[in-house]
């Protein structure tokens, strides 16, 4: 049986540590967990079983492993220290017999986007970013349809537009929407990206800003920064808008859920896994679902593509199209929407539509 492994790490320190070590999560402060993660070894979480290709009937198994660093710790520590801990976790995957390794959350964005990590491991590595792009864009088009927002006349925004995922998302959105706002920290990088999109003959009018408040102009927002905390607040959003939050930790403040019933916030990249998958661990998603970055690793294992796949800060459109076809072939599908750990029901969507129309 072909195999894979996927690395996760604590994003919400107390909550995520509690999922594996309930007592530690209860008695330890977030500050202590952040500090203590420096000294904790890689953690074996669980075996993943029941993934079966709908095209070939092939079954694979895998393992969830944890790099103990929290997101805050990864941002604080020297890059070399973070690499070493991720590589230690990768070597645990090698000892287990994994044929491909996926990097999750901050492990995929630290430094050069997995290139240095892949060079120091025998097992092939992917960040999962290509399928994340595909599923995030699919999700925002589906949400737009449900809220009767025609993309061709809509203003859209990509927050974190100059990052690895954001650049390709911007390319895909620019092909269809009316106006696209590119939001990022560096003016020069935004200008470069605008030039690339316009040179490729994009449909949208491209506007750039280093101020996140500009997203109030947009009906469709895709946000994918590498910020440690929330960057989008309730007063940043236009009534009736859709926000697809791909970032982990989240880019959208939890206050939006209560303060803005006229806005639809959806988690980006939740995927239905083919077969009867069992993670033997609760990482916060419903049964049978996974994040797109995990799904990319699984799809490559089913396809027997045991090679370094999505690495670095420059993801090509061709790679996104290829992994989309591979995932679709084996039965991976965009799943239902979730928002702040809860399912998005038809009633919620209708409420957003009605309150937006009423100007509430």
**Could you report the per-residue pLDDT of 170-190, keeping only the tens digit for each?**
999 999 999 999 999 999 999
Q: Determine how many CB atoms are found less than 10 A away from the CB of residue 98.
A: 25
Predicted TM-score (pTM) of this structure: 0.91
**Per-position DSSP letters for 130-156, written without gaps between them:** HHHHHHHHHHHHHHHHHTT--GGG-EE
The 3-state DSSP class for residue 229 equals coil
253 to each of 60, 236, 250, 298, how far by Cα in Å?
37, 10, 7, 31
| Local confidence band at 236 (pLDDT 50, 70, 90 cut-offs) | very high
Residues near 323 by beta carbon (within 8 Å), at least 6 away in sequence:
130, 131, 134, 296, 299, 300, 309, 310
The 3-state DSSP class for residue 93 equals helix
Q: Tell me the mean pLDDT in the region 88-94.
A: 98
Which residue intervals of 239-291 are DSSP H helices? Answer: 255-259
Of residues 221, 315, 273, the one with CA closest to residue 62: 273
In the chain, the domains with their CATH numbers are 2-130+271-333 (no CATH), 133-269+337-358 (3.40.50.720)
For tokens 């490729």, name the residue: 200
Of residues 140, 147, 138, 84, the one with CA closest to residue 111: 84
pLDDT in tens, 53-73: 999 999 999 999 999 998 888
pLDDT in tens, 121-171: 999 999 999 999 999 999 999 999 999 999 999 999 999 999 989 999 999
The 3-state DSSP class for residue 126 equals strand
Q: Provide the sign of the torsion angle of the four alpha carbons 20, 24, 27, 28, taken in this order.
A: negative
Of residues 99, 101, 126, 97, the one with CA closest to residue 113: 126
CB 289 within 8 A of CB 271: yes
Q: Is pLDDT at 26 greater than 70 in this prediction?
A: yes
Q: What are the beta bridge partners of residue 205? A: 179
| Local confidence band at 88 (pLDDT 50, 70, 90 cut-offs) | very high
Distance (Å, whole) CA 299 – CA 322: 11
CB 273 within 8 A of CB 286: no
Distance (Å, whole) CA 213 – CA 133: 23
Q: Tell me the mean pLDDT in the region 275-286.
A: 91
Tell me the two tokens of residue 337: 């929407």
Q: Tell me the mean pLDDT in the region 240-265.
A: 90
Average pLDDT of the residues of the chain: 93
The 3-state DSSP class for residue 243 equals strand
CB 213 within 8 A of CB 157: no
Kind plus residue range of the DSSP H or E element containing 278: strand 275-278
Pairs from 17-22 (Cβ < 8 Å, separation ≥ 24): 19/281, 19/282, 19/283, 19/284, 20/45, 20/66, 20/281
């Amino acid at each position: 049986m072909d195999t894979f492994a996927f690395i996760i790490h604590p994003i919400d320190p107390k909550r995520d540590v509690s999922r594996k070590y309930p007592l530690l999560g209860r008695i330890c402060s977030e500050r202590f967990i952040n500090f203590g993660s420096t000294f904790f070894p890689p953690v074996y979480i669980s075996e993943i079983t029941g993934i079966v290709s709908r095209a070939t009937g092939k079954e694979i198994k895998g393992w969830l492993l944890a790099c103990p660093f929290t997101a805050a710790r990864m941002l604080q520590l020297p890059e070399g220290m973070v690499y070493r801990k991720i590589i230690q976790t990768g070597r645990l995957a090698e000892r287990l017999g994994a044929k491909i390794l996926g990097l999750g959350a901050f492990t995929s964005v630290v430094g050069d986007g997995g290139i240095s990590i892949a060079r120091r491991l025998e097992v092939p590595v992917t960040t999962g970013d290509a399928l994340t792009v595909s599923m995030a864009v699919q999700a925002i088009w589906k949400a737009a349809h449900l809220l009767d927002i025609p993309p061709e006349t809509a203003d859209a925004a990509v927050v974190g537009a100059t990052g690895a995922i954001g650049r390709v998302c911007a390319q895909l959105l620019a092909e269809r929407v009316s106006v696209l706002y590119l939001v990022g920290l560096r003016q020069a990088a935004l200008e470069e990206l605008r030039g690339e999109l316009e040179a490729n003959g994009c449909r949208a009018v491209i506007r750039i800003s280093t101020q996140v408040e500009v997203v109030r102009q947009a009906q469709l927002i895709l946000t994918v920064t590498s910020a440690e905390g929330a960057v989008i607040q309730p007063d940043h959003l236009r009534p009736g808008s859709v926000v697809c939050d791909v970032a982990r930790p989240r880019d959208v403040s939890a206050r939006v859920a209560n303060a803005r019933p006229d806005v639809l916030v959806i988690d980006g990249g939740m995927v239905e896994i083919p077969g009867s998958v069992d993670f033997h661990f609760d990482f916060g998603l419903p049964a049978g679902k996974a994040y797109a970055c995990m799904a990319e690793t699984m799809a490559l294992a089913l396809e027997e593509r045991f090679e370094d796949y999505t690495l670095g800060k420059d993801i090509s459109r061709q790679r996104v199209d290829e992994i989309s076809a591979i995932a679709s072939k084996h039965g991976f599908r965009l799943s239902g929407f979730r928002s702040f750990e809860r399912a998005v029901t038809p009633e919620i969507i209708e409420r957003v539509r009605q309150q937006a129309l009423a100007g509430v």
